[in-house]
């Protein structure tokens, strides 16, 4: 029952920070809101299983994915702040970041969220967790696609060339 309370409270905060984007489905923040909600629900669904049998092969794989998620969020935010030269928040970068993780994938922060979703999913696989991880994946894909269009408008040809030399979420794969 506590999971519902946490979901509700966290959802209020996510909604508050996403409220401007939710007015227009053509903005990347619209889809990102639903990605965050899906990941939050997935984590809360499986949280009680996170430390059950922590050394099973499936849980070890989950931990590896979760560590990659943590690395990407810290590394990605750092690069956006230092190299991206944001005007305000990290979404308002003035320089296209193409080093570090950004040399290989265009969306380290969304990849981090995607890895978090799949890591949480592997903690306990169920029909509900399958639905939630697929929803999170689809919403993150939609978020990235819309943001790529926004970045082409913002950075022009440089971003188009960048897209041709990188993958979206998984280095060398996708």
State how many domains the chain has.
1
Confidence of residue 79 (pLDDT cuts 50, 70, 90): very high
Asked if residue 173 belongs to a domain, the reply is no
Asked if residue 170 belongs to a domain, the reply is no
Interior CA angle at 51 toward 46 and 53, to 5°? 105
For range 38-52, the mean pLDDT: 95
Asked if residue 171 belongs to a domain, the reply is no
Residue 95 has φ and ψ, to the nearest 5°, of -125, 135
Asked if residue 155 belongs to a domain, the reply is yes
For range 158-168, the mean pLDDT: 98
Tokens of 109: 């922060």
- Residue pLDDT, tens place only, 107-150: 999 999 999 999 999 999 999 999 999 999 999 999 999 999 99
pLDDT value at residue 88: 86
Could you give the count of Cα atoms lying within 13 Å of 11 in the half-sphere of its Cβ? Answer: 13
d(C-alpha 162, C-alpha 174), whole Å: 14
Q: 105 has which bridge partners?
A: 167
Instruction: Please state the pTM of the whole predicted model.
Output: 0.94
Asked if residue 9 belongs to a domain, the reply is yes
Please state, for a pLDDT cut of 70, what percent of the chain lies above it: 100
Query: Is pLDDT above 90 for 9?
Result: yes
pLDDT value at residue 33: 98
Confidence of residue 3 (pLDDT cuts 50, 70, 90): very high
Confidence of residue 31 (pLDDT cuts 50, 70, 90): very high
pLDDT value at residue 1: 84
Alpha helices per DSSP H over 50-126: 57-82, 108-123
Residues comprising the chain, all counted: 174
Q: 140 has which bridge partners?
A: none
C-beta of residue 169 within 8 angstroms of C-beta of residue 108: no
- Residue pLDDT, tens place only, 48-60: 999 999 899 999 9
For range 94-114, the mean pLDDT: 98
Asked if residue 172 belongs to a domain, the reply is no
In which domain, by residue range, is 102 found?
A: 2-165
Asked if residue 174 belongs to a domain, the reply is no
Asked if residue 78 belongs to a domain, the reply is yes
């Amino acid at each position: 029952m506590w999971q519902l309370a946490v979901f509700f409270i966290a959802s209020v905060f996510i909604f508050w920070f996403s409220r401007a984007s939710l007015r227009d489905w053509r903005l990347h923040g619209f889809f990102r809101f639903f990605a965050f909600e899906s990941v939050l629900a997935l984590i809360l669904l499986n949280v009680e299983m996170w430390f059950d049998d922590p050394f099973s092969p499936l849980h070890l794989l989950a931990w590896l994915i979760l560590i990659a998620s943590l690395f990407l969020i810290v590394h990605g935010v750092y690069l956006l702040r230092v190299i991206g030269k944001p005007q305000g928040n990290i979404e308002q970068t003035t320089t296209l970041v193409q080093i570090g993780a950004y040399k290989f994938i265009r969306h380290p922060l969304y990849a981090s969220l995607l890895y978090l979703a799949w890591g949480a999913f592997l903690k306990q696989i169920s029909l509900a967790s399958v639905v939630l991880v697929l929803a999170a994946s689809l919403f993150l894909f939609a978020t990235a696609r819309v943001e790529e269009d926004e970045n082409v408008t913002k950075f022009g040809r440089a971003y188009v060339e960048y897209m041709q030399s990188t993958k979206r979420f998984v280095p060398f794969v996708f």
